[in-house]
Amino acid sequence: MGAIYPRLWRYAVALTGRRDWGDDLAQTTCLRALDKADQFEVGTHLDRWMFRMCQRVWLNELRSRKVRTGGGLMPVEEIDLADNSPGTEVNILARQVLSHVNALPEAQRQSVLLVYVEGFSYKEAAEIMEIPVGTVMSRLAGARKKLNTIMADPAGGQA
């Protein structure tokens, strides 16, 4: 689980939009995984199982708070992101892109994070989110279109 935890934590922070909530979500997911370890099928992908569990825990949390549209998310500028010493311009662009990704509807944001950030295939992302592969592809196409429009328009893509 040690090799998966940093990825799980990053996904949890991205899902929640807050570092403290991400910490809690990643820890809760690990505890849930330990409790349900007997349900894990040996020979399958532990990371997919953990990511799916993380998503379910977060959705349950959202339902319990009755927050269905992403309200209460912290702006990306307020999150402490790790700096692995890329250039300043790269950091600025990365923060801008991440800010725009975080502004996407939740379904598109999850798809982008799983496929483009975590490197899961469309099929794997579909399994994690328990949706058809075509839906993942549609969400990614919509997210790409919206991000391209925003990034091409310095005014922020408000059309």
How confident is the model over 129-155, as pLDDT tens digits?
899 999 999 999 999 898 888 877 756
Whether 104 and 129 map to the same domain: the answer is yes
- Which string of b and e fits 19-53 if b means at least 16 CB within 10 Å? bebbeebbebbbeebeeeeeeeeeeeeebebbbbb
Whether 65 and 99 map to the same domain: the answer is no
Domain hosting residue 149, numbered range? 85-159
How confident is the model over 92-135, as pLDDT tens digits?
766 777 778 888 888 898 898 889 888 899 999 999 889 999 99
Single pTM value for the model:
0.56
Structural domains in the chain (count): 2
Q: Considering the domain boundaries, does residue 115 fall inside one? A: yes
Whether 92 and 142 map to the same domain: the answer is yes
Q: Considering the domain boundaries, does residue 78 fall inside one? A: no
pLDDT at 159 exceeding the cut of 50: no
